[in-house]
Structure 1
Amino acid sequence: MAVIFMHKRAIWIVLAAILSLFVYNEFLVYYIVLLQCHWPQLDDGRADLDITPTSRLPLKAMIMSDTHLLGSREGHWFDRLRREWQMERSFQTALTLFNPEVIFVLGDLFDEGKWCSDREFKYYVKRFSKMFRHSSHNDMHILVGNHDIGFHSMIEDDKLKRFYRTYSVESAKMVRLKDNIFVSLNSMAFEGDRCDMCQEAMQSLNIIAGTLDCAKFYFQHGNEDPSCGDTTFPYTRPILLQHFPMYRTSDSNCTGIDSAPPDMKNDPFMPKWDCLSKEASEKILRQIKPRMIFAGHTHNFCYHEHVDHTPEWTLASFSWRYKSTPSFLLVTISNNNQAVKKCYLPSEVTVVYTYVIGAIIIIAWIVLPKKFYGYRPPSVEKSR
């Protein structure tokens, strides 16, 4: 009986060790890593003194990009299972720890949205809704990316409309949240040609720019511009959200462990493919006059200041398939001030090493002499 008892004890110890290793790597590690992040605090020294602050509490926003849920053509089932589990646990943990008021997803929700059927698109939407589920207290705004509908030259009208319809997206859209103004754009609609989508985007952008000018006129002069009607509201410089980054030549000046690898940093960007064209970027900056810009698309992090000193953050991918060190941003925003904090998700390399080291320890414990866990087999002499 002693022999049977000791064998059972060893088995239970091994099973407990395996379960502990799994729970740590698949649940606890997300809390341990994300607890190292926090909401950034506003610095009064950085406030825009030209804008009168309101009494509202600052808005707390979480911004992420490029989730790339895998499809049926290019995604292996285990790869899809693994990546979606990682993203779901990361998002749900972040939601629990930080409880943002608003969440912005900067496009490329799906990896194969540009060519998938309506049936698979519905399956995409169902999976995304499950992974990134949130309560009504966490407002979520979705932008469109090139993998959701395709690059400009391959966009089909029905695929464009189904994404717009599903996520209430527009080619150019303005929303106001707690006296802060956000302008979101469809990056593929600023090709500069005369396509219907591009004309619609430019018309919407012009309307938004005019609305902002009216609000600014009222703010500066204390009365309404007769041409504006009664559409004025408290003015503040808007925050621009889009999938493509603004025009820049490369990632050569980008830093951080989630920035482009050294052998890619100096690769020249192709306008309208890696970033917006120079012409489109200048026009948007001139019309919107944003106080800051957030974009995705490259899968690599970058902080960049434009010639007018407008700061732009390009977010790394939220998926481990494209980045071994995914990240997202926490942004604290008032109508005249803002603060940005980058939060890293667990490194996949660290998780793999933890599994390997844990497995080695468990295997070593099993093969060591049995006296190490309290079992001594009976001697040959006594068994006779």
Structure 2
Amino acid sequence: MVSWKSMLPLLIIIGLVIFEERVSIPSCKIVPRDDGNEIEIEDVGVDREVDSELRVMMVANLLLMGSEAGYMNMYFRDSYLAKFFRKSFERLNPDMLIVLGDISAIGSELTKSRWLSVLQQFQRILGPFLALPLHVILGDRDIGDCSKLNAKSVKWLATNFPGLDSSGCGAFDISNISFVSLNAVALLCGSNDLRFSIEKVIERESLDLHGDAKAPTERSYEPSRSGHFGWRETDMPSGSGPVLLLHFPLHGTTNKDCEKNNLPRSPLSSVPDGWLNWLHSREIGRPGPYELLHTLPPNATEYIFQALKPRIIFTAHSNGFCDHTHEDGTREVTVPAMTWDARDDPGFVVATFGRNRAVIVRQCSLPKESHVIMVYISVLLLLVLTTLVASKSQLTNLQR
């Protein structure tokens, strides 16, 4: 008869495998609107809501390192990130994936060949999502701040992602839902040719929205090198435009609650000091060119509202989740970082678009890295302890 002590290491390993599968399942909850106009609906998990047209999973700030990744990223974080994507796909059954920028942690510093390693890493992690429609926008870590912004580099990077033009913008329709994505990094820059290209994209989408085939007679749009934006007055109601995708939040988005959510936590913060120093041979995600609470300037924000009348806005950059309603009633949802390199408790957002123009937003959370690491440490200590007990027992039997 096999002793239970000899079976204990196997049981511990089986328990760890089960833990890894269970812990990679996201926990999601419907987020009510902060203006009190939420839709009363039960969270039905993978079942689709009545009259839903499209379900989109939105992630941000993956901060991949490619060939620059250290041991911790390659053999631990990347493995779990791939599991997060696989389990999210199985549980939520999305129709599309949108990445709101900062795919790379140091993209603006990479050569083309090193960027290719990041893109390969990105494809490995996506797993089943490779079969779905995908849209990626560019973040400040991907293309740099205004001093590093280069139109040729942006054009090359944009060609590697579906649906982006040479300026890093995109517009597409899926399931009767219109989306517009803008290169928000360029909108922060003053006299920059790439910014003027973004303004032309906004004006083109504005013309399409208003169905205006003639030249405007009141306030016509004119790209200005003074840094001020111009737009025509319109009587189109707020919320009548497309779903807008940006990397940077708009001006006026953050409040005290959002700022509290957006503050990054030190990875492994709840693990006792000194236990995990040997794990830090790799680099933690480097800070981006901008501070985390940075938003688009007021003039760019007003310009976007006037020109596009967005139905709803999804942004990123700040690492934390935020749900904000602007003065005109437009809802803006800031998607949290989906990586342990940015914060201890990552997450993402699932948006369900209904035929009645309603949008149901789910905030999904993933396990804390510190908790997962503590489990691994506990398992390691148990295995060491059981090995010592087994060795002592064998030694005692031999002495007899």
Q: Pick from 328, 336, 353 the counterpart of residue 374 of structure 2.
A: 353
Other-structure match for 2:175: 178
- Tell me how far apart the structure 2 counterparts of residues 369 and 131 of structure 1 sit (CA, whole Å): 40
Describe the SS at the equivalent of 1:142. strand
RMSD (Å) for aligned C-alpha atoms: 3.4
- Tell me how far apart the structure 1 counterparts of residues 317 and 397 of structure 2 sit (CA, whole Å): 66
Other-structure match for 2:21: 27
Cα shift at 1:210: 1.0
In the alignment, is the contact (CA less than 8 A) between 2:105 and 2:141 conserved in 1? yes
In the alignment, is the contact (CA less than 8 A) between 1:40 and 1:330 conserved in 2? no
Aligned residue runs from structure 1 range 1-384, under 5 A: 10-14=5-9, 16-31=10-25, 34=26, 36-37=27-28, 57-71=52-66, 75-134=69-128, 138-168=132-162, 169-170=164-165, 171-191=168-188, 193-214=190-211, 227=214, 236-248=240-252, 250-254=254-258, 258-260=261-263, 274-335=294-355, 336-367=357-388, 377-378=396-397, 383=400
In the alignment, is the contact (CA less than 8 A) between 1:251 and 1:260 conserved in 2? no
Describe the SS at the equivalent of 1:206. helix
Q: Which amino acid aligns with 2:198?
A: A
Stretch moving more, 317-326 or 285-294 = 285-294
Q: In structure 2, do the counterparts of structure 1 residues 150 and 376 end up closer, same or farther at CA, with 3 Å as the change threshold? A: closer
Q: Which amino acid aligns with 2:187?
A: F
Describe the SS at the equivalent of 1:134. helix
Stretch moving more, 201-210 or 85-94 = 85-94
In the alignment, is the contact (CA less than 8 A) between 1:39 and 1:98 conserved in 2? no
Q: In structure 2, do the counterparts of structure 1 residues 148 and 98 end up closer, same or farther at CA, with 3 Å as the change threshold? A: same
- Tell me how far apart the structure 2 counterparts of residues 254 and 148 of structure 1 sit (CA, whole Å): 24
Describe the SS at the equivalent of 2:306. helix
Q: Which amino acid aligns with 1:141?
A: H
Deviations 1:113-165 (A, max 9, x none): 11211111111111111111335652111111111111122112332111111
In the alignment, is the contact (CA less than 8 A) between 2:5 and 2:386 conserved in 1? no
How many pairs does the alignment contain? 337
Q: In structure 2, do the counterparts of structure 1 residues 208 and 56 end up closer, same or farther at CA, with 3 Å as the change threshold? A: farther
Q: In structure 2, do the counterparts of structure 1 residues 156 and 272 end up closer, same or farther at CA, with 3 Å as the change threshold? A: farther
* Structure 2: runs of 5+ lacking an equivalent: 40-49, 216-238, 266-289
- Tell me how far apart the structure 2 counterparts of residues 18 and 24 of structure 1 sit (CA, whole Å): 10
Q: In structure 2, do the counterparts of structure 1 residues 163 and 40 end up closer, same or farther at CA, with 3 Å as the change threshold? A: same
- Tell me how far apart the structure 2 counterparts of residues 376 and 124 of structure 1 sit (CA, whole Å): 52
In the alignment, is the contact (CA less than 8 A) between 2:6 and 2:390 conserved in 1? no
Q: In structure 2, do the counterparts of structure 1 residues 175 and 379 end up closer, same or farther at CA, with 3 Å as the change threshold? A: closer
- Tell me how far apart the structure 2 counterparts of residues 157 and 173 of structure 1 sit (CA, whole Å): 16
* Structure 1: runs of 5+ lacking an equivalent: 48-54, 215-224, 229-234, 263-269
Other-structure match for 1:222: none
In the alignment, is the contact (CA less than 8 A) between 1:66 and 1:297 conserved in 2? yes
Identity %: 22
In the alignment, is the contact (CA less than 8 A) between 1:180 and 1:334 conserved in 2? no
Describe the SS at the equivalent of 1:323. coil
Q: Which amino acid aligns with 1:94?
A: S
- Tell me how far apart the structure 1 counterparts of residues 66 and 129 of structure 2 sit (CA, whole Å): 27
Describe the SS at the equivalent of 2:352. strand
In the alignment, is the contact (CA less than 8 A) between 2:29 and 2:363 conserved in 1? no
Q: In structure 2, do the counterparts of structure 1 residues 317 and 261 end up closer, same or farther at CA, with 3 Å as the change threshold? A: closer
- Tell me how far apart the structure 1 counterparts of residues 295 and 368 of structure 2 sit (CA, whole Å): 27
Other-structure match for 2:230: none
Q: In structure 2, do the counterparts of structure 1 residues 354 and 209 end up closer, same or farther at CA, with 3 Å as the change threshold? A: same
Stretch moving more, 301-310 or 59-68 = 301-310
Deviations 1:163-202 (A, max 9, x none): 1111032343221111211111101121353322111111
- Tell me how far apart the structure 2 counterparts of residues 23 and 331 of structure 1 sit (CA, whole Å): 31
Q: In structure 2, do the counterparts of structure 1 residues 331 and 273 end up closer, same or farther at CA, with 3 Å as the change threshold? A: closer
TM-score by length of 1: 0.77
Q: Which amino acid aligns with 1:29?
A: V
Describe the SS at the equivalent of 2:210. helix
- Tell me how far apart the structure 2 counterparts of residues 334 and 250 of structure 1 sit (CA, whole Å): 27
In the alignment, is the contact (CA less than 8 A) between 1:245 and 1:276 conserved in 2? yes
Q: Which amino acid aligns with 1:65?
A: A
Q: Which amino acid aligns with 1:69?
A: L
Q: Which amino acid aligns with 1:306?
A: H
TM-score by length of 2: 0.74
Q: In structure 2, do the counterparts of structure 1 residues 40 and 95 end up closer, same or farther at CA, with 3 Å as the change threshold? A: farther
